[in-house]
Structure 1
Amino acid sequence: MSVVTGWIGVTAAGYPVPLPCSLMPSHWLAALHPNVHGYTQSSEQVRTDDYLRDAVPLVLEGEIRGETPADALRQAHELQHWVRQLAWLQRPDGWVTPLLEGNDLETKVGKNAKAIGIRVVLVQQKRIWYGPNGEESS
């Protein structure tokens, strides 16, 4: 039996970026257009590369906790830096999907000062996942 480590992003250079284990897929209704990003408190709600382009978004929501409010914010900014560079996403079960540019992370006030709610917006190239044996699934 293998240990489930959660979602893992991979940059174009091959660097793995473990995403917080608390992230869960959330329901998403539309293609990425400027009015789709949903956190009104996000200072970077809309990225310019989202404009005028339909895409297949995958949204993971969860929370980041820190020792202090400043630590939680630092973790969110560091994660946002890496999320913007992701070229692949691996699910906890090992299946992967290619990503386009335009990935981002949005933040909102969490349950307490040491917790920050996050929404990771990932732009799938196609709504297709590839299994470890090369099998395709949508």
Structure 2
Amino acid sequence: MADSSAPVPEALTVHAQSRVLEVVFAGGEVYRIPFELLRVYSPSAEVQGHGPGQEVLQTGKRDVTLLALEPVGHYAVKPVFSDGHDSGIFTWAYLHELGRDQEQLWQRYLQRLQDVGADRDAPMAPRPHKGGGCGSH
């Protein structure tokens, strides 16, 4: 169910060359959200896990691009990324949060990388796909 108090975008523009999604909200707020930030904070289970503490730190996403941006009802979009990731549904409220809080989110992401000694540009290790690896089935 869509949050009726969440701001609704008036325009979404994919800037392929600069790799940002520009989101213009009613009221004049404009955010330019880098594709990499969208990808590493995807709300999908693949990234967020199935519960607290199960988040999967994303690496190697600096050059990811958006191949498509598919509407999901009147409340969200589903990006299709160049690395094959396409299971995150970004609600208007989540896009607003990513845009508004992107500086803090970047810092949190970079700190998480540093905490585990991960390289932002290292390729992701292969993971088991549906049906394997999460132990909750």
TM-score interval w.r.t. the shorter chain? under 0.3
- Normalising by the residue count of structure 2, what TM-score does the alignment of the two structures yield? 0.25
- Normalising by the residue count of structure 1, what TM-score does the alignment of the two structures yield? 0.25
The answer to which structure has the higher helix fraction is 2
The answer to which structure has the higher strand fraction is 1
Higher relative contact order (CA 8 A, sep 6+): 1
